[in-house]
Amino acid sequence: MKLTILFGGASFEHEISIVSAITLKEKLHDFDLSFVFCDSEHIFYSIDKKKMKANTFSKGEYKKMPQLHLAQGGFTQKSMFSSMHHTGTVLNLIHGADGEDGTIASLLDFFSIKYIGPRIDASVFSFDKRYTKYLANAVGVKSVKYEVLYADRHTDIKMPFPIIVKPSRLGSSIGVSIVKEESELDYALDTAFEFDKSVIVEPFLEGVKEYNLAGYKANGEMFYSIVEEPQKEEFLNFEKKYMDFSRSEQVLKADISEELIAKLQASFEKIYDGLFEGALIRCDFFVVDGDVLLNEINPIPGSMANYLFEDFKQAIEDLSESLPHSKRVKSTYEYIHSISAAKGK
Amino acid sequence: MKLTILFGGASFEHEISIVSAITLKEKLHDFDLSFVFCDSEHIFYSIDKKKMKANTFSKGEYKKMPQLHLAQGGFTQKSMFSSMHHTGTVLNLIHGADGEDGTIASLLDFFSIKYIGPRIDASVFSFDKRYTKYLANAVGVKSVKYEVLYADRHTDIKMPFPIIVKPSRLGSSIGVSIVKEESELDYALDTAFEFDKSVIVEPFLEGVKEYNLAGYKANGEMFYSIVEEPQKEEFLNFEKKYMDFSRSEQVLKADISEELIAKLQASFEKIYDGLFEGALIRCDFFVVDGDVLLNEINPIPGSMANYLFEDFKQAIEDLSESLPHSKRVKSTYEYIHSISAAKGK
C-alpha cells in the first residue's frame, strides 16, 4: 500500500520522531512509502527515501530537498513548471507537541488529507495528563490519584512522599522526577515547571506491576496487541526511551492470566471507544491489588508499537481502510436569503 | 488598533459568523480592520471592507476577491509581482465547527499568527458538551446532570421526562429538542443524531433562572461583563439566535444581588483559569435553589458578546495585549549527535 510518513515537528521529541520514521522505513519496507518532514520552523520537506537517515536531519541536509505546502487534498510541491501532490494516506508519526497535541490532526483535517493518527479531541485528552485523568474518570477507568500544581500560585502537596512529579504535557519522561523526601521537592518542581505551567503529582507506587497494551479499531471491531511488561527500572530516562523508539523486533508476551488480559482490554476499549478511532494507540497500565489503573495514553507510540504486533503491516493496512472522515458542512445561505427576502417586502 | 477579523468556516454556523463579522465592523469602526473569509471549501479570501455585507457571500461575489494562503507569520496574498502579508493580530470569529472546535486555533498556532480566541484545549472542552461536563466536574463547578447516548448502540434513558436532547457538538440550538413524553423521543433523537454521533440528555428544568456572563483575562486579571438575564422562551430557535448574533446595543443588567454576581464570577473564573487565556468567552449559567450550574461555554460568542460590555473596544484592546504565545521548541540534534559519536568509536 501507499503511505506517506509525516515526522519531525517542533517538539522535545523531534529526534525520536526521526528515529521512529527510520524504524518504520525498515519495518514497512514493502509498502510504497514516501516521507514528509516537518522541521522545527514548521516548514515541510519531501525527503528522498534513500536519504532517510539521522544525519540528513542533524546536519541540515534536508534543507536542500523540495519544500512542500499544505493544500486541499495533500501536500503540494512547487517546482518550475508543475505542482506535484502527495495525496495518499498520511501516517502522523510526529511525537509530542504538534503531532500529539491536536495541531497536526487539525491541519490534516482542514486540508482534507486522510490520516492515521489521533483526531483533535483524542489528542487533547491524551497529551495533557490532567485531561487524561478527566477522561478516565468520566468513562469509568481507574487511574492513580493526583494533585495539580501551577507555576503561578503556591499550593501545598497533600499526599505523602515518595511522589512522582511530571509536567502536565510532555511525554518520554522529560522533566519527570521521583521525589522521596521534602528536600528533593524544590528541584523536582523547578525542573518540571521548566517544561510546563502546570505539574501533576502522583504517589510513586513502588514495586507496582506495569503493562503496556496497544490496539486500534478497524471495521467496527477492536484489535489488540500482545501485552508487554516493560523492563523494570524506576522509570526510563530520555536516552533509554530514545533507544526504545527504534525497536522493531517483537517482544515477549507478559506472563499474565487470560483474566488480567481481558481486564486490560476492557479498560483499553473504554478509553478508545468513540474518541481514538483512526489511531493505533498504546495504553500503559498499572496493576495494583488486582485493580487496573490507567497510567498514560500514547496516541502515537514510538515506532507505532510495531514490536507488540504479530502482523504489524496488516494492522496498518486494516486501520487505513477504517479511517474516520469528517463531513464538511456546505452553506446554503438559507438564512441570509430569507432575511434579505423579508427585508425586501 | 489593527485587527484582522477571520470569519466564515465550514459549519452550520457559517452564516451567523458572517452576521457577527458585519456587526463587529460597525461596533469597531474606528479600528484599522481587515477581513479574511474562510469559505465552506476552506479557501481563504481577503474581503474588501466596503463589501462586508451579507450578499457578498450569499451571491458568491467573494470568489472574485483575492485568495489568501496561510504562511509563517500571516496570510499571504499571491499576486503577479508580489506577495502581501496580513500579519496583524487575528480575531477568530468563526462560530461552530472549524472556529470553536480547535481547528482554526491549531492553524493559527502552527503558522505563528497572534490571535484572540480559544486555544486548542479550550476549544475541545467547550465544543463538545460531554467534555464541558468533564471540565466542570474536574474544576469543581456544578452542572446539570446528564446522560450520553450513542448512535451506534441502544441505551435506555434513566431520567424522567421532560428532558432536553442535544447533539454533543453543535451550538446555536441546532438539533436540540425538548421532549415532554415518551412519544416525542424517537423524533427528537433522530433529529439530534442527524448532527452528531453522540447526544446529551439532560432534565429540562422548567422555570429555571438563566444568566449569561462574559469575561476575559488581561494582564493577569479577570474582567467581567455585566450579567444578562436572556429573554425567556423555552429555548431560542436557530432563527432567533441568528438575529441575536447581530446585537450591538448594550443590554440591561440582570436584577440580581451582588452575592449572586460574585458566585457567577467565581464559577466563571474556575472554568476560565489556565485554559481560556487569550479568549473572550461567555458562560451561560442556570441558578437552581441558589446553586450556580454551568449550562454551556461559548468560547467565541455571537458578535463577541459586545452588547454585554460597557467598553467593548477597550476589552478587545486589553485582550490583544495579553495573548498567550506558545514557545516553539528548536531541535539541537543532541541525541542523534551523541549516538552517532558513540557508533563512531
Question: 3-class secondary structure for chain B?
Answer: CEEEEEEECCCCCHHHHHHHHHHHHHHCCCCEEEEEEECCCCCEEEECHHHCCHHHHHCCHHHHCCEEEEECCEEEEECCCCEEEECCCEEECCCCCCCCCCHHHHHHHHCCCCEECCCHHHHHHHHCHHHHHHHHHHHCCEECCCEEEECCCCCCCCCCCCEEEEECCCCCCCCCEEECCHHHHHHHHHHHHCCCCEEEEEECCCCCEEEEEEEEEECCEEEEEEEECCCCCCCCCHHHHHHHCCCCCCCCCCCCCHHHHHHHHHHHHHHHCCCCCCCCEEEEEEEECCEEEEEEEECCCHHHHHHHCCCHHHHHHHHHCCCCCCCCCCCCCHHHHHHHHHHHC
Element (H or E) spanning A68, and its range? strand A67-71
Closest-CA residue to B216 (of B311, B129, B78, B113): B311
Q: Using a CB-CB distance cutoff of 8 angstroms, which residues of chain A are in contact with residue B15?
A: 331, 333-336
* Structure confidence at residue B334 as a pLDDT band (50, 70, 90): confident
Grid cell digits, residue A154: 503556591
Calculate mean pLDDT across residues B62-68: 95
B278 touches chain A (CB under 8 A): no
Say which residue the cell 495541531 belongs to: A103
Residues 6+ apart with CB under 8 A from A224: A213, A214, A215, A265, A268
Nearest Cα of chain B lies from the Cα of A276 at a distance, in angstroms, of: 14
* Structure confidence at residue B153 as a pLDDT band (50, 70, 90): confident
pTM: predicted TM-score of the whole model, two decimal places? 0.94
The confidence score (pLDDT) of residue A233 equals 58
A133 touches chain B (CB under 8 A): yes
Sheet with strand B209-218: strands edge to edge: B142-143, B291-298, B281-288, B209-218, B221-228
- Mean pLDDT is lowest, of B96-105, B245-254, B282-291, for B245-254
At A152 the three-state DSSP class reads coil
> Do the beta carbons of residue A73 and residue A85 sit within 8 Å?
yes
Instruction: Give the Cα separation of B202 and A155 in Å (integer).
Output: 35
Parallel, antiparallel or unpaired: strands B147-150 and B142-143: unpaired
Chain A residue at shortest CA distance from B121: A124
B158 touches chain A (CB under 8 A): no
* Structure confidence at residue B231 as a pLDDT band (50, 70, 90): confident
The confidence score (pLDDT) of residue A235 equals 53
Nearest Cα of chain A lies from the Cα of B213 at a distance, in angstroms, of: 25
Nearest Cα of chain A lies from the Cα of B182 at a distance, in angstroms, of: 27
Q: Using a CB-CB distance cutoff of 8 angstroms, which residues of chain A are in contact with residue B270?
A: none
Nearest Cα of chain A lies from the Cα of B243 at a distance, in angstroms, of: 9
> Do the beta carbons of residue A313 and residue A28 sit within 8 Å?
yes
Residues of B (33-62) whose Cβ lies below 8 Å from A? 40-43, 54-55, 57-58
Mean residue pLDDT of chain B comes to 91
Calculate mean pLDDT across residues B92-101: 96
pLDDT at B173 over 80: no
Q: Domain A123-142+207-320 classified CATH 3.30.470.20?
A: yes
Question: Which DSSP letter does residue A171 get?
Answer: -
What residue segments make up the domains of chain A, in order of their start? 2-117, 123-142+207-320, 147-203
Instruction: Give the Cα separation of B15 and A119 in Å (integer).
Output: 26
The confidence score (pLDDT) of residue A52 equals 97
Q: Give the tens place of pLDDT for each residue, A236-279.
A: 565 666 666 677 777 778 999 999 999 999 999 999 999 999 99
Instruction: Give the Cα separation of A137 and A125 in Å (integer).
Output: 12
Write phi, then psi, for B27 (nearest 5 degrees).
-65, -35
Conformational region of residue A289, where left means phi above 0, alpha means psi within -120 to 50, and beta covers everything else? left
Q: For the domain B147-203, what is the CATH superfamily, name and number?
A: ATP-grasp fold, A domain (3.30.1490.20)
Burial B261-298, CB ≥16 within 10 A → b, else e: bebbbebbbbbbebbbbbbbbbbbbbbeeeebbbbebb
Calculate mean pLDDT across residues A26-30: 96
The confidence score (pLDDT) of residue B327 equals 73
Residues of B (99-118) whose Cβ lies below 8 Å from A? 101-103, 105-107, 109-112
Kindly report the number of other CB atoms within 10 A of residue A139's CB atom.
18
Instruction: Give the Cα separation of B189 and B202 in Å (integer).
Output: 13
The confidence score (pLDDT) of residue B330 equals 82
At A310 the three-state DSSP class reads coil
Decide if B42 and A134 are in contact by the 8 Å CB cutoff.
Answer: no
Decide if B242 and A335 are in contact by the 8 Å CB cutoff.
Answer: yes
Chain B residue at shortest CA distance from A150: B274
Decide if A12 and B110 are in contact by the 8 Å CB cutoff.
Answer: no
The confidence score (pLDDT) of residue A232 equals 61
Write the residue in A130, A242, A335 that is nearest to B335 by C-beta: A242
A131 touches chain B (CB under 8 A): yes
A130 touches chain B (CB under 8 A): yes
Q: Domain B123-141+207-320 classified CATH 3.90.25.10?
A: no
B331 touches chain A (CB under 8 A): yes
Instruction: Give the Cα separation of B300 and B281 in Å (integer).
Output: 6
At A114 the three-state DSSP class reads coil
Instruction: Give the Cα separation of B294 and B268 in Å (integer).
Output: 9
pLDDT at B238 over 60: no
The confidence score (pLDDT) of residue A334 equals 84
Calculate mean pLDDT across residues A167-191: 90
A310 touches chain B (CB under 8 A): no
Q: Give the tens place of pLDDT for each residue, B139-149.
A: 999 999 999 99
Chain A residue at shortest CA distance from B57: A333
Instruction: Give the Cα separation of B160 and A83 in Å (integer).
Output: 60
pLDDT at B83 over 80: no
Write phi, then psi, for A83 (nearest 5 degrees).
-135, 105
Same fold, A2-117 and A123-142+207-320: no
pLDDT at B236 over 60: no
Calculate mean pLDDT across residues B143-168: 92
Write the residue in B238, B242, B328 that is nearest to A10 by C-beta: B328
Burial B120-151, CB ≥16 within 10 A → b, else e: bbbbbbbbbbbbbbbbbebbebebbebebbee
Decide if A333 and B97 are in contact by the 8 Å CB cutoff.
Answer: no
Q: Using a CB-CB distance cutoff of 8 angstroms, which residues of chain A are in contact with residue B239?
A: 335
Decide if B42 and A110 are in contact by the 8 Å CB cutoff.
Answer: yes
The confidence score (pLDDT) of residue A241 equals 60
> How far is Cα of residue B17 from the mean position of the Cα atoms in its chain?
11
Task: Report the amino acid identity of residue B34.
Answer: S
A-B contacts (CB, under 8 Å): 149
Suggest the residue from B11, B58, B68, B242 to mutate for an interface test with chain A (most A CBs closer than 10 A). Answer: B58
Write the residue in A111, A121, A336 that is nearest to B128 by C-beta: A121
Say which residue the cell 464559577 belongs to: B267
Chain B residue at shortest CA distance from A328: B10
* Structure confidence at residue A345 as a pLDDT band (50, 70, 90): very low
Grid cell digits, residue A86: 502527495
The confidence score (pLDDT) of residue A287 equals 96
Instruction: Give the Cα separation of B307 and B245 in Å (integer).
Output: 10
Calculate mean pLDDT across residues B92-108: 97
Nearest Cα of chain A lies from the Cα of B309 at a distance, in angstroms, of: 27
Write the residue in B18, B121, B239 that is nearest to A124 by C-beta: B121
The confidence score (pLDDT) of residue B233 equals 58
The confidence score (pLDDT) of residue B232 equals 61
Grid cell digits, residue A51: 536519504
B135 touches chain A (CB under 8 A): yes
pLDDT at A281 over 60: yes
Calculate mean pLDDT across residues A84-89: 84
A240 touches chain B (CB under 8 A): no
Say which residue the cell 481507574 belongs to: A142
Q: What sign has the CA pseudo-torsion A218, B175, B6, B250?
A: negative
% pLDDT > 70, chain A: 93
The confidence score (pLDDT) of residue B251 equals 77
At A306 the three-state DSSP class reads helix
Q: Using a CB-CB distance cutoff of 8 angstroms, which residues of chain B are in contact with residue A170?
A: none
Helix, strand, coil proportions of chain A in percent (round to 5)?
35, 25, 40
Q: What's the CATH class of domain A2-117?
A: alpha beta
Decide if B328 and A12 are in contact by the 8 Å CB cutoff.
Answer: no
Write the residue in A15, A274, A333 that is nearest to B15 by C-beta: A333
Decide if A274 and B98 are in contact by the 8 Å CB cutoff.
Answer: no
A14 touches chain B (CB under 8 A): yes
* Structure confidence at residue B345 as a pLDDT band (50, 70, 90): very low
Say which residue the cell 546536519 belongs to: A59
